[in-house]
Structure 1
Amino acid sequence: MRPRTLTLPKSLLEVAGRPFVAWQLEALARSGFSRVLLCIGHLGEQIRALVADGAAFGLVAEYSEDGPTLLGTAGALRRALPLLEPTFLVTYGDSYLPFDYSAPLRDLDAHPEALGTMSVFENRGQWDSSNTRVQGELVLSYEKGATSPDVAFIDYGAIALRREVVAGLPEGRVIGLDGVQAELARQGRLRALVAHERFFEIGSEAGLVELAKKLGTP
């Protein structure tokens, strides 16, 4: 999304007349969330200035900053460990999901043997490259760039995790969430929650246009 994101965080890109993060936070509030933790990095002070304490969106907002080195999604969570609840939901700052964001948490709470519940969508390569193999209610494997025809699902963009998963990660390292997801799948402790409506993203101009249409822009 350059050159715009050289001076503006992606989550503040305008969609349907409003910053994207406003749509996302309101969707979380509608799903019953009362508190959000924003892990911010590049130009994060602009996000903090807009969201502030979260009251305008019906939420309490807290912040964790990466610092001078971007740590990746899982690395940022490790840095934010003192602020994480025993179970929590992770969603990406550039994805809009037309579903109940609280559903993965409810599923994880109902299955104490699992360490995570990942929302998935039967994508079959349509909206992006499929990366997830699912059998029943379990994620069998998670692999970016997978080419096998039985890899029919994609990471939908919302995953519930137990705090202990993050506590076991090394501190101060650059760590992607994909590696954590893949390891939980190998252990047989990552559940799959199937979403039935496509995801939307703002990582491309086409994605912005599609989401604006979804949100009702003329």
Structure 2
Amino acid sequence: MSVQVAILAGGLATRLRPLSLEKPKSMFVICGRPFLAYQLEFLAAQGLRDILLCTGYLGERIEAYFRDGASFGARLQYSREEGVLLGTAGALKKAGPLLADEFFVMYGDSYLSVDFAAVHRYFKKFDKTALMTVFKNNNRYGRSNVALAGNLVAGYSKNKPAESMIYIDYGVMLFRKSVLDLIPAGEFHPLEEVLTKLAGGREMLAYEVPERFYEVGSWRGLAEFRRFIAGKKGLK
């Protein structure tokens, strides 16, 4: 499968200071390797090698280490925010000239057990602008923030989710490039505002994933992912 993947890897990671004062989350060392290495190799194993890294905070360290990505089975391009950060959606808008007509989006601090080919096949069955992978969370791994109506995302709220919401956005999205039209140029804009608009317009498919997700955006998540990788490697 030759679909492009954009990874949002430009955040400040303020919750993980002082660790994040010296390196971005993509460079956090887990069992001897940077977190991004695990992401890239998982994607490459599914045939996803065309990767666009949207970097910002300490992005030069990511570029210096991963270079063109060949050592990790990837073909890397970079879109780096200089100076003032533009937020997750703003970063995609800036990367627009490098983005394909269809592309996956994922976060730079998430490790997600997704069958990307199955997600793409499902997306192609319907004439919608976007797709969000979701997990039936019931507030187990963070606050649930997604409501469904059939196969569509009917409601999304990251900051003020309704008590009735039992799903959570899993962390992989699939967009048509027209999504960029919803993002103002040159200003801070979070991706959750775009997702809320897509849900309100019934333009975003939902694809349920049965496996839990891992993340390194919190101290708890970092410890859980370290245990997960150590278990796979047979480490203590």
Q: Say yes or no: TM over 0.5.
A: yes
The alignment's C-alpha RMSD in Å is 1.3
In structure 2, what is the equivalent of residue 39 of structure 1?
A: 54
In structure 1, what is the equivalent of residue 9 of structure 2?
A: none
User: CA offset at residue 147 of structure 1?
Assistant: 4.6
Which of 132, 144, 152 is equivalent to 2:166? Answer: 152
Q: How does 1:1-218 map to 2 (within 5 A)?
A: 1-111=16-126, 113-215=127-229, 216=231, 217-218=235-236
Could you state the TM-score of these two structures normalised by the residue count of structure 2? 0.88
For the Cα contact (< 8 Å) 1:105–1:117, is it kept in 2?
no
Residue by residue, what CA displacement relative to the aligned partner does 1:184-203 show, whole Å, maximum 9, x if unpaired?
A: 01111100000101111111
Matched pairs, number:
217
Residue by residue, what CA displacement relative to the aligned partner does 1:147-174 show, whole Å, maximum 9, x if unpaired?
A: 5332000010000000011144221011
For the Cα contact (< 8 Å) 2:146–2:161, is it kept in 1?
no
* Counterpart secondary structure, 2:116: coil
For the Cα contact (< 8 Å) 2:183–2:194, is it kept in 1?
no
User: CA offset at residue 108 of structure 1?
Assistant: 2.0
* Counterpart secondary structure, 1:78: helix
Letter in 2 for 1:117: L
For the Cα contact (< 8 Å) 2:138–2:166, is it kept in 1?
yes
- Matched-pair identity in %: 41
* Counterpart secondary structure, 2:78: strand
For the Cα contact (< 8 Å) 1:36–1:59, is it kept in 2?
yes
For the Cα contact (< 8 Å) 2:113–2:213, is it kept in 1?
yes
Residue by residue, what CA displacement relative to the aligned partner does 1:108-132 show, whole Å, maximum 9, x if unpaired?
A: 2221x21001000011111101110
Distance 2:217 2:100 in 1: 29
* Counterpart secondary structure, 1:61: strand
Distance 2:36 2:201 in 1: 34
Letter in 1 for 2:97: P
Could you list the runs of 5+ residues in structure 1 that have no partner in the other structure? none
For the Cα contact (< 8 Å) 2:107–2:171, is it kept in 1?
yes
* Counterpart secondary structure, 2:83: coil
For the Cα contact (< 8 Å) 1:37–1:61, is it kept in 2?
yes
4+ runs deviating over 4 angstroms: none
User: CA offset at residue 67 of structure 1?
Assistant: 1.3
User: CA offset at residue 103 of structure 1?
Assistant: 3.6
